[in-house]
Amino acid sequence: MNILVTGGAGFIGSHIVDKYLELGHSVTVIDNLSTGKKENINPKAKFIEMDIKDESISNVFAEGNFDVLSHQAAQMDVRVSVNDPKFDALNNIIGSLNLYENCKNYGVKKITFASSGGTVYGEQNEFPCLENHPTNPVSPYGIGKLTNEYYLYYYKQVYGIDYVALRYGNVFGPRQNPNGEAGVIAIFANKLINGDQPIINGDGLITRDYVYISDVVEANVRSLEKEVNGIYNVTTGVETNVNHIFKVLKDKINSDLGEVHGPAKKGEQRRSVCSFEKFEINHNWSPKVSFKEGIDKTVEYFIKVNK
């Protein structure tokens, strides 16, 4: 297939690009390198440095003849969205619409979208929750992800473009940015390896559903199949708190740094954990990498890049 991957220089997008190329697909990457890195981009992919909001992106679609858009590019930090909702919406809603309109105009058959299981539901009343749980996002980022899902439904109903919205849990693994605000495993691992003190926000008891990158990539491979359509959680159903993450990393890295807590971040969702039952029953996807195994691989990676 001929696939356009937006955000292909980023953490998740670059792993998807690697896999798609390995499977023999032809891949074009669009990325504005705002958080992504050139060195993440597989040299076998065609790279176009461009913002997804750029109107001239129509030229890329006109020449590309893409079968599939894999839309991974986004402002991906919940706290940035809280501080600057307009910036978030410009990138994550208007930028996406720029892509979807071009999909419509240039005959793209399917869109796969990086949605977010950690934010579209808001505070849950079931643990773990299924895809039909009420969606009451409590961040502009979550609102943006849900809005994309509604637009994708619209493009399917009105223009017949197939879509898969994958509601990722908290993804972790090699290449995640350890210097950002999001991605606690990458941030803590990198700090502990360098002997720097990680700070746990608040009581450290907020929970998330941590899913390893290779499982997310596999979900994106499945999404290319004709019969895979609609919305799926890409999660583990396992709830993990930040204190536990600190302890597991500290043990793995053999650090003698203690658990230090700072002030809690305002408005942070307390618990998030989602069931992958729907994806498993319908398309036999389930996470294969345990939390511990994922942590081991991630730590090995950060040790290597810190050398």
Ligand X SMILES: NC(=O)c1ccc[n+]([C@@H]2O[C@H](COP(=O)([O-])OP(=O)(O)OC[C@H]3O[C@@H](n4cnc5c(N)ncnc54)[C@H](O)[C@@H]3O)[C@@H](O)[C@H]2O)c1
53 binds ligand X (CB under 6 A): yes
Beta strands in 107-150 (DSSP E): 110-116
- Unique residue bearing structure tokens 């991630």: 298
H helix or E strand, kind and range, residue 232: strand 230-234
Q: How far is the CB of 106 from ligand X (least distance, A)?
A: 18
The binder of ligand X chosen from 28, 72, 255, 275 (CB under 6 A) = 72
- Unique residue bearing structure tokens 């461009």: 50
CA dist 100 → 55, 105, 168, 268 (Å):
12, 9, 20, 31
* 110 to 149: interface string for ligand X, x by CB under 6 A: ----x-x---------------------------------
The pair phi, psi for residue 213, each rounded to 5°, is -55, -40
Task: State the catalytic residue, choosing from 20, 121, 141, 210.
Answer: 141
Q: Which stretch binds ligand X (CB under 6 A): 73-81, 155-163, 220-228, 264-272?
A: 73-81
Nearer to ligand X, 36 or 198 (CB): 36
The binder of ligand X chosen from 68, 108, 161, 171 (CB under 6 A) = 171
Size of interface with ligand X, in residues (CB under 6 A): 28
The binder of ligand X chosen from 76, 193, 200, 295 (CB under 6 A) = 76
Q: Taking CA 34 as the corner, what is the angle to CA 274 and CA 186, rounded to the nearest 5 degrees? A: 45
Nearer to ligand X, 144 or 204 (CB): 144
Q: How far is the CB of 40 from ligand X (least distance, A)?
A: 7
Nearer to ligand X, 100 or 168 (CB): 168
Peptide bond into 287 cis (omega under 30): no
Nearer to ligand X, 208 or 255 (CB): 208
**Distance separating alpha carbons of residues 203 and 201, to the nearest angstrom:** 7
The pair phi, psi for residue 102, each rounded to 5°, is -70, -35
The binder of ligand X chosen from 3, 4, 5, 12 (CB under 6 A) = 12
* Residue 141 annotated among the catalytic residues of the structure: yes
The binder of ligand X chosen from 75, 214, 233, 240 (CB under 6 A) = 75
- Unique residue bearing structure tokens 């039952």: 277
Nearer to ligand X, 33 or 303 (CB): 33
For 193, residues 6+ apart whose C-beta sits below 8 A from its C-beta are 253, 299, 302, 303, 306
Q: How far is the CB of 254 from ligand X (least distance, A)?
A: 26
- Unique residue bearing structure tokens 């953490």: 11
Its sign, for the CA torsion 122, 126, 130, 133, is: negative
CA dist 194 → 130, 172, 187 (Å):
39, 19, 11
The contact set with ligand X (CB under 6 A) reads: 7, 9-13, 31-36, 51-53, 72-76, 91, 95, 114, 116, 168, 170-171, 177
Catalytic positions, please?
Answer: 141
